[in-house]
């Protein structure tokens, strides 16, 4: 697998247009005043909202208690992953499998009784296939690609959801890897948008589209790519509300 092999995805009906619309929506957020002045505060808020939405999708309680002490293990894990994103970004760019392992440790440390399994892809019953596909995914992330950021990000997201490489907190890891891909690909270099909110609000269509992608038919892959592009636009709207609140 390499970036050039993804090029035919742009020929699927509506995908190239949806990717351009998603890019335009995300890029416009970067031109808002608070984000032009740096964007660190808005990016931090976006990261927390993304973690909360991701935890909610995974079955956790997305609400942060008034006292600030998070006891829900899924939300706590998602927030730990979000907090580590900046340090994980250079690792994701050069060694994605190491980054995935670290994200799983952070996301699942309160969810598994056997800590020796943290960060280790599952080995049975199809561990060999999981390992091979993870290696291919790593090649995709680190290689040159001509496809736009929305398509690459959607493929990374969908592939990790389909693989369920660790057996716990896989959704949190998949969505966090997608955020890193958004930043690394230049789609959202400051991490300002929150497409996870669209996935949380539309969990039924989100899961159905992910399952369609996993089947691997052209129509199923197209369904997933279009869902993700629409989620990027929704995430850009969420980012606008964050920027407006920061004025």
The pLDDT-based confidence of 247 (bands split at 50, 70, 90) is confident
pLDDT digits (tens, 9 = 90+) for 6-62: 999 999 999 999 999 999 999 999 999 999 988 899 999 999 999 999 999 999 999
Mean pLDDT across 163-181: 97
Looking at residue 135, its pLDDT comes to 93
How far apart are the C-alpha atoms of 134 and 131, rounded to whole Å?
5
Rounded Cα distance, 110 and 246, in Å: 34
Position of tokens 């020929």? 11
Above 60 in pLDDT, residue 2?
A: no
Rounded to an integer, the average pLDDT of 83-105 is: 97
* Confidence band, pLDDT 50/70/90 cuts, at residue 127: low
* H-only helix segments in 7-126: 15-29, 33-36, 40-57, 73-83, 85-94, 96-108
Domains in the chain: ranges and CATH: 3-245 (1.10.3290.10)
Window from 84-93, 123-132, 133-142, 206-215 with minimum mean pLDDT: 123-132
Q: Rounded to an integer, what distance in angstroms lies between the CA atom of residue 102 and that of residue 13? A: 37
């Amino acid at each position: 697998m390499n970036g050039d092999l993804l090029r035919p995805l742009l020929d699927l009906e509506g995908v190239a247009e949806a990717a351009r619309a998603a890019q335009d929506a995300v890029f416009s957020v970067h031109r808002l005043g608070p984000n032009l002045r740096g964007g660190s505060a808005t990016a931090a808020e976006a990261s927390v909202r993304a973690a909360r939405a991701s935890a909610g999708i995974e079955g956790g309680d997305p609400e942060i208690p008034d006292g600030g002490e998070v006891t829900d293990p899924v939300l706590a894990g998602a927030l730990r992953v979000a907090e580590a994103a900046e340090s994980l970004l250079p690792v994701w760019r050069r060694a994605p499998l190491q980054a995935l392992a670290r994200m799983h440790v952070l996301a699942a440390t309160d969810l598994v009784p056997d800590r020796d399994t943290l960060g280790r892809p599952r080995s049975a019953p199809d561990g060999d296939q999981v390992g091979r596909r993870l290696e291919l995914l790593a090649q995709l992330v680190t290689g040159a690609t001509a496809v736009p950021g929305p398509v690459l990000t959607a493929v990374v997201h969908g592939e990790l959801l389909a693989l369920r490489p660790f057996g716990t907190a896989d959704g949190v890891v998949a969505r966090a890897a997608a955020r890193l891909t958004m930043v690394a690909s230049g789609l959202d270099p400051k991490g300002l948008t929150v497409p996870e909110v669209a996935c949380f609000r539309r969990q039924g269509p989100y899961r159905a589209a992910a399952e369609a992608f996993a089947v691997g038919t052209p129509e199923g892959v197209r369904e997933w790519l279009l869902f993700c592009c629409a989620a990027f636009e929704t995430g850009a709207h969420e980012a606008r509300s964050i920027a407006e609140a920061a004025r």
